[in-house]
Structure formats: structure tokens, C-alpha cells
């Protein structure tokens, strides 16, 4: 199995394989470049999830859309 890339949140460097403790590691990523973009990927995912949460909260208990946003 091919090793995957991780991003070390302490050193802010990519690492090939699980080198750092899990608490200092984000990933896995397919490429070194993806690991270098780890913070960007996290920010994009968080924004997407926040939007999905807002959309979810717009639905009332009876399944109809609420007018609040």
C-alpha cells in the first residue's frame, strides 16, 4: 500500500506517512501539494458545513421550509 501524506499542524509541514502524533496531524491526503493545502481544505469544508447547517435549520419540524435564514 502506498503511503499517504499528512500535514503536521505544529511544524506546518507535509509528512509522508504517519510520523507525527495524531493530535498534530491532519490527513491523509493523496499528494504533498494537497497536504500543503490542508488549512485551505479545512476552511472550505467548514464553510460548506456551516452553510448546510443553516439550510438544515431552515426546515421546521413538520418538514416545511421556514422563512427565517
- The predicted pLDDT at position 62 comes to 63
Q: How far is CA 56 from the centre of its chain?
A: 19
Looking at the domain assignment, is residue 62 inside a domain? no
Looking at the domain assignment, is residue 11 inside a domain? yes
Query: Model confidence over 28-60: pLDDT tens digits?
Result: 999 999 999 999 999 999 999 999 998 888 876
Question: Which of 23, 29, 22 minimizes the C-alpha distance to 14?
Answer: 29
Looking at the domain assignment, is residue 65 inside a domain? no
- Band (pLDDT 50/70/90 cuts) for residue 27 is very high
Helix (H) or strand (E) holding 5: strand 5-8
Q: Which domain holds residue 36?
A: 5-57
Q: Based on the structure, what is the number of domains in the chain? A: 1
Looking at the domain assignment, is residue 41 inside a domain? yes
- The predicted pLDDT at position 64 comes to 66
Looking at the domain assignment, is residue 64 inside a domain? no
Amino acid at each position: 500500500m502506498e503511503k499517504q501524506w499528512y500535514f503536521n499542524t505544529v511544524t506546518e509541514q507535509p509528512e509522508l506517512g504517519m510520523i507525527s502524533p495524531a493530535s498534530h496531524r491532519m490527513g491523509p491526503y493523496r499528494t504533498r501539494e494537497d497536504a500543503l493545502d490542508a488549512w485551505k481544505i479545512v476552511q472550505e469544508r467548514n464553510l460548506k458545513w456551516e452553510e448546510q447547517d443553516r439550510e438544515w435549520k431552515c426546515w421546521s419540524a413538520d418538514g416545511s421550509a421556514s422563512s427565517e435564514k
